[in-house]
Structure 1
């Protein structure tokens, strides 16, 4: 699935099973999706679109214009 860096806007494909595993292990804030660090600049990666295991939907358009 596509993740986009909030800093440099680099795209990165992260396998859905990896994202779901991270989501299942995360006991933190349910309003935040599983996040990763950008390999290019170290910024926060955010999913282009992801519906979490608890039913929350996350869209890149919610955090950048």
Structure 2
């Protein structure tokens, strides 16, 4: 069997910004960056930034009730 080749472009899909953010946050996003402050080619300050952004579903977190906290 030979695969069928299609020369037609795929149709464009409109994706809402909310849907895009939901997809990104469900899997997680890592943002990294470096900032270097220098004078006359001498590095004075170097800052490395890393951020992990994910969504937290409420069903995975244990709930603390008032009764549980009162038993101390």
Which bracket does the TM-score occupy, shorter chain normalised?
A: under 0.3
Bigger helix fraction: 2
Larger Rg: 2
Larger RCO, structure (CA 8 Å, separation 6 or more): 1
